[in-house]
Amino acid sequence: MKSEETLLLRVVRSERAERVPMWMMRQAGRYLPEYRAIRKDRSMLQMVQTPEVAAEVTLQPLKRFPLDAAIIFADILTPLIGMGVSLDFVAGEGPQLAPHIRTQADVDRLSLPHPSESVGYTLDAIRIVSRELAGKTPLFGFSGAPFTLSCYLIEGGSPGDAANVKRMMYSAPAVWHSLQDKLSQLVIEYLVAQVEAGADLLQLFDSWLGLLGPSDYKEYVEPYLLRIIDEVKARVSVPLIFFGTSTGGLFPQLSKLNADAFGVDWRLSLPDAETRLGRKIPLQGNLDPLLLCYGTWEKIRPEAERILNEGRGLAGHIFNLGHGILQETPIDNVERLVDFVRNFKA
Ligand code: CP3
């Protein structure tokens, strides 16, 4: 079967489907014993930077569950290393980046190498996985979006309330805009390179976008998202899904983006998301990952069923969690969920 014909690609193009496709954000990760076995002797970065290992880990969840997509094992922060930033994942503390980017001189020092030089390992991993999947299951490439990448660059780690990010926006807007311009170039080239290496579709993660209100979104973020999505879609012809969390208040504006589908977290129902977008477009989501982690199947099932029923009226529905799967999630819950979604008649 050609990859253009797979279920998920049809749904993202608003075509009719016999069932609801499903994948999970962070589906390759620490909730899987086979991931932990490989991780035991290596750091997260070593795994990402060794194409054979990244490829193997990408395929692990597909060997265990009949999922409808793979997502390449990398991180939104790895492309920043090539800009001259040091990145470390510190157990219990999350990602740590240095130096913090705060001034125009800091922005000017960030370099923009071609992705084949800076993240060649991820492009190689895509080539391996793409060959293995042979078009039977589509492979996602992905990137962080400039706002979320800026949060990590400016704050040096998870942004909290993003005080330094907003300080730059409000007190040094020219610095902010030059940083966004540079990151937009990085993101465009990275996404295009992933498709050229074999990715079948793309997801753009703007995980922290919900920290902004509508006016700030419009002034400081929207021009760059418009530009990235338009330019990527002009250069490569694969679908692109836009994902953020806590972005309910921004949905009317996000609607202007030329994405093929939007990810929705659990805070907003799928029909409410569609109403706020004001148009028919496929949606992806939106089970609370904490429910999948801590709920019994008796609690998880009715929620999954509600989401699937709500998905019926949409232009298209890709089942996913509202955010990444948690490390403590019981495999049994995942197995039952995948089975339930797979057997639900669309
Ligand atoms: O989804 C997938 O399976 C593909 C791989 C993937 C990872 N990170 C692997 C990873 C993807 C798509 C991401 C995206 C990512 N990374 C985002 C956007 C999506 C989101 O969750 O909001 C963000 C904000 C990051 C930054 C990041 N990377 C954080 C906050 C952490 C957790 C830090 C920690 O110590 O737990 C990471 C690390 C990370 N990225 C892990 C994985 C599997 C855990 C690595 C490990 O220690 O084994």
Per-residue pLDDT for the chain (346 aa), expressed as one digit of tens each?
444 479 999 999 999 899 999 999 999 999 999 999 999 999 999 999 999 999 999 999 999 999 999 999 999 999 999 999 999 999 889 999 999 999 999 999 999 999 999 999 999 999 999 999 999 999 999 999 999 999 999 999 999 999 999 999 999 999 999 999 999 999 999 999 999 999 999 999 999 999 999 999 999 999 999 999 999 999 999 999 999 999 999 999 999 999 999 999 999 999 999 999 999 999 999 999 999 999 999 999 999 999 999 999 999 999 999 999 999 999 999 999 999 999 998 7
Residues 125, 51: contact at Cβ < 8 Å? yes
**Residue 26: CB within 6 Å of ligand 1?**
yes
- How far lies 212's CA from each of 200, 206, 253, in Å? 31, 11, 12
**pTM for the predicted model, two decimal places:** 0.97
Q: Which of 31, 68, 75, 220 is catalytic?
A: 75
Smallest CA separation from ligand 1 atom 42, residue? 29
The encoded tokens of residue 119 equal 């993240």
Is 276 labeled as catalytic in the residue annotation?
no
| CA within 13 Å, CB half, 119 | 35
Is 227 labeled as catalytic in the residue annotation?
no
**Residue 100: CB within 6 Å of ligand 1?**
no
Buried-state track 15-43, b at ≥16 Cβ within 10 A, e below 16: eebebbbbbbbbbbbebbeebeeebeeee
**Residue 205: CB within 6 Å of ligand 1?**
yes
Instruction: Say whether 6 sits in a helix, a strand or coil.
Output: coil
**Residue 277: CB within 6 Å of ligand 1?**
no
Q: Which atom of ligand 1 is nearest to the CA of 24?
A: 1
Torsion, Cα of 122, 153, 208, 299 (10° steps):
60
d(Cα 158, Cα 148) in Å, to the nearest integer? 10
Smallest CA separation from ligand 1 atom 7, residue? 75
| CA within 13 Å, CB half, 167 | 10
- How far lies 237's CA from each of 110, 229, 278, 285, in Å? 29, 11, 25, 23
**Residue 71: CB within 6 Å of ligand 1?**
yes
Helix and strand counts by DSSP (H, E) for the chain: 17, 9
d(Cα 205, Cα 240) in Å, to the nearest integer? 11
